[in-house]
Structure 1
Amino acid sequence: MTIDLIDLTTGSLGLSNASVETRDTAKQLLQLSQNVITNIAGQLTRLGSQYSALEHNLDNSMVLQYNLTTIESNIRDADMGKETMLLAINKVLTEATYSLHKFSDDQKQHFEKVLFE
């Protein structure tokens, strides 16, 4: 999108040599003033339209940023859940291994006690 600035100096609007000395020049000045007002109104309308388009794009960008942040958070939450699950699995496996070793040692001691008594 290109935003063109307009030149609103009296020279560019044709008002630099404006005169109201005679009735004809006053009428010409009124007609020229009306043309200038129409031109400026058109330019303001165009700029307003461009401004609205920019606001719309900004709003869309903000929604996109919010959605990306939410998605990133969900991914991090899922990763954290996976890590927590793996930690729990490892803890259960470690405790199970410890319990098996303890049970095995207890059985060995019980067997030795029964045999050697």
Structure 2
Amino acid sequence: GNNGKSIEKLSSGLRINRAGDDAAGLAISEKMRGQIRGLNQASRNSQDAISLIQTGEGALNETHSILQRMRELAVQSANDTNVTVDRSNLQKEVAELQSEINRIASQTQFNTKNLLTGSAKSMVFQIGANKDQVIKLTIGAMDTSTLKVKSINIGSGVKAASISGMIKTIDEAINTVSAERAKLGANQNRLEHTIANLDNSAENLQAAESRIRDVDMAKEMMNFTKTNILTQAAQAMLAQANQAP
């Protein structure tokens, strides 16, 4: 009876324990629960996307440093105070730096996904609870061929005049890396705002779902007490009636 339902509601903390309690309310509540779980997962997806971006950006920070050092060596080599052996030694370091740029490009991964080989094209991040709520991100290849610094040679037999052209090439490579890092930074900022919005939406929806599904403890306790009193009164009257001559 009513008393049993009150006990069930009070013990579960829920106003709706089965469809019969409130069919429409249950349907709305379940839809909201789906959205809440979707929003929470989208927030986790966005966090993962930020981690991926930070991995790529951290690697490009290193590539930037290497290009800056390469530029410094080119500027040094462009000076005709250098003799053949000096330029040869400078080129040895440049060759090592070129290898390191390629190593970073080929080995920078997130969850086994290559980020800087040019294969990270149109990556899709699901950042909402529903279909088509996505952002796409492409990270370009960042090896010496793509950056056009593969053929940089400041060694012996290279004239100072041709080195100035190489400095310009290195500057263009630095600009390419800067543009890629700026794009990654902008996407990270966007995702951080997305996470704040998703978490806020999930919190508000959780509160709304709670209002539909959760029991009003004070009100239900009052109903339970009232039903109890009426039941006890009825039983007392019945006992008196049975005792009457």
Please report the TM-score for the alignment, with normalisation by the length of structure 1.
0.73
Of the three residues 197, 209, 214, the one matched with 1:76 is 214
Match 2:176 to one of 39, 59, 64 = 39
Q: Does 1:94 align with 2:228?
A: no
User: Within the alignment, does 1:8 sit opposite 2:146 as a pair?
Assistant: no
What is the distance in 2 between the residues matched to 1:26 and 1:59?
50
The structure richer in helix per residue is 1
One-letter amino acid of the counterpart of residue 11, structure 1:
S
Unaligned 5+ segments in structure 2 are 1-134
In the alignment, does 2:186 pair up with 1:52? no
Matches of 1:70 and 1:63 in 2, distance apart? Answer: 11
Aligned to 1:65: 202
**What is the SS of the residue equivalent to 1:13?**
coil
- Structure with greater strand share of residues: 2
Q: Which has the higher contact order (CA 8 A, sep 6+)?
A: 2
Gaps (5+ residues) in structure 1? 110-117
**8 Å CA contact 2:144, 2:150 repeated in 1:** yes
Q: What amino acid does structure 1 have at the position aligned with 2:136?
A: T
Q: Secondary structure at the match of 1:2?
A: strand
* Separation in structure 1 between the aligned mates of residue 144 and residue 180 of structure 2, nearest angstrom: 16
Greater Rg by CA: 1
1:101 is displaced (CA, Å) by 2.4
List per-residue Cα deviations over 1:92-116 (Å, max 9, x = no partner): 220221232244456x34xxxxxxx
CA RMSD of aligned residues (A): 2.3
Could you tell me how far apart the structure 2 residues matched to 1:25 and 1:11 are?
A: 19
| Identical aligned residues as a percent | 19
Aligned match for 2:167, one of 5, 16, 30? 30
